[in-house]
C-alpha cells in the first residue's frame, strides 16, 4: 500500500520524505488555507520534494472553468495529479484530462456507485472519505471493501486512495481490504511507527549494551 501525506505543510512533507517511505501528497482547499501560502507556489515546492503524485484541487464547479484551472495546475510539474470533485462536471473533466494522459484524483466520494462512475471516467485515483462517514454514524471502511470488490470485478485500474483517515486503525483496515493508497495527516503517519513496547525494549537493550563496555566499529 502506498503512503501519501494529506497536508500542504512543506516542513512536515520534507520530514516524512526523508524516511524514504512517502509515495505522494494530497492537498485540498482547506489544507491550502491552513498552510496560509500561495497555492501555486506551495504546490510547486511540494512537487520538488516528492517524486510521486501531488494532488492539487480545482475550485471551479463547471467543466470549462475546471479545464482552465487544470491547465494552470498541470503546468506546475509532471507529478501533479488534478483533483476534481465527484460531480457530473468533475467526472466530465476527469474523462477529458485522463484522455490527455493527465493524472486525476476524484475526491469527495461517499458511495461505491460514485466510485464506479469515477473508474468509468478513467480516474487515476478515487478518494473515498472514511472519517467523514464515521462522523455521521456510517462505517466508512465498508465503502472501501465495496469499491475493492467492484474494481476487481471489472479490472479497473483506478487506485483506491483512502482519504479522511483519522487514526492508525483506518490505515490497518485499508491495508487489510487491499486499498492501493492511504493518505494520512502527518501525525497519523508518525503514530504508525510507535509502540510503547518498542521504546521499552530499546531502552533495555541499550542499558544492557552499555554494561558490556563495547562499541561497534
Ligand atoms: O483530502 C481529503 C481528506 O483527506 C479530508 O480529510 O479529515 O478533512 O475529513 P478530513
Q: Give the atom of ligand 1 at the shortest distance from the alpha carbon of 127.
A: 2
Q: Write the Ramachandran bin of 15: left for phi over 0, alpha for psi from -120 to 50, otherwise beta.
A: alpha
Span 10-22, average pLDDT:
98
CA-nearest residue for atom 8, ligand 1, is 164
Span 171-195, average pLDDT:
98
120 is catalytic: no
pLDDT at site 181: 98
For ligand 1, the distance from its centroid to the CA atom of residue 164, given in whole angstroms, is 4
pLDDT at site 54: 98
Run of H or E residues at 122: none
Span 19-25, average pLDDT:
97
pLDDT at site 28: 97
> What contacts 173, CB < 8 A, 6 or more positions away?
141, 144
pLDDT at site 205: 98
pLDDT at site 50: 98
pLDDT at site 94: 98
* Protein fold of 2-212: TIM Barrel (3.20.20)
Span 40-61, average pLDDT:
98
For ligand 1, the distance from its centroid to the CA atom of residue 172, given in whole angstroms, is 17
CA-nearest residue for atom 6, ligand 1, is 164
CA-nearest residue for atom 9, ligand 1, is 164
Q: How far apart are the first and last CA of the chain?
A: 36
pLDDT at site 129: 98
Give the residue carrying C-alpha cell 455521521: 136
For ligand 1, the distance from its centroid to the CA atom of residue 208, given in whole angstroms, is 45
Determine whether the shortest distance from the Cβ of 7 to ligand 1 is under 6 A.
no
For ligand 1, the distance from its centroid to the CA atom of residue 109, given in whole angstroms, is 11
Determine whether the shortest distance from the Cβ of 29 to ligand 1 is under 6 A.
no
Span 97-119, average pLDDT:
97
Question: 56-72: per-residue pLDDT in tens?
Answer: 999 999 999 999 999 99
Determine whether the shortest distance from the Cβ of 26 to ligand 1 is under 6 A.
yes
pLDDT at site 101: 95
pLDDT at site 17: 98
Quick check: 118 and 106 in contact, CB under 8 A? yes
Quick check: 112 and 86 in contact, CB under 8 A? no
The whole-model pTM stands at: 0.96
Span 30-43, average pLDDT:
97
pLDDT at site 84: 98
Determine whether the shortest distance from the Cβ of 57 to ligand 1 is under 6 A.
no
Span 33-38, average pLDDT:
97
Cell readout for 128 is: 473515498
Q: Give the atom of ligand 1 at the shortest distance from the alpha carbon of 28.
A: 1
Amino acid at each position: 500500500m502506498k503512503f501519501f501525506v494529506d497536508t500542504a505543510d512543506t516542513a512536515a512533507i520534507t520530514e516524512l520524505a526523508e524516511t524514504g517511505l512517502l509515495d505522494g501528497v494530497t492537498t485540498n482547499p482547506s489544507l491550502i488555507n491552513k498552510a496560509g501560502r500561495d497555492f501555486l507556489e506551495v504546490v510547486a515546492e511540494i512537487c520538488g520534494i516528492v517524486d510521486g503524485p501531488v494532488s492539487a484541487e480545482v475550485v471551479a464547479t463547471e467543466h470549462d472553468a475546471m479545464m482552465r484551472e487544470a491547465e494552470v495546475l498541470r503546468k506546475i510539474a509532471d507529478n501533479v495529479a488534478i483533483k476534481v470533485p465527484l460531480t457530473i462536471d468533475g467526472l466530465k473533466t476527469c474523462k477529458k484530462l485522463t484522455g490527455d494522459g493527465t493524472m486525476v484524483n476524484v475526491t469527495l466520494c461517499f458511495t461505491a456507485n460514485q466510485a464506479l462512475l469515477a473508474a468509468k471516467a478513467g480516474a487515476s485515483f478515487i478518494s473515498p472519505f472514511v472519517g467523514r462517514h464515521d462522523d455521521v454514524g456510517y462505517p466508512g471502511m465498508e465503502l472501501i471493501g465495496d469499491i475493492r470488490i467492484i474494481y476487481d470485478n471489472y479490472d479497473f485500474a483506478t487506485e483506491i486512495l483512502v482519504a479522511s483517515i483519522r487514526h492508525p486503525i483506518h490505515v490497518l483496515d485499508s491495508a487489510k481490504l487491499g486499498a492501493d493508497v492511504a493518505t494520512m495527516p502527518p501525525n497519523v503517519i508518525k503514530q504508525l511507527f510507535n509502540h510503547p513496547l518498542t521504546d521499552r525494549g530499546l531502552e533495555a537493550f541499550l542499558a544492557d549494551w552499555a554494561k558490556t563496555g563495547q562499541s561497534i566499529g
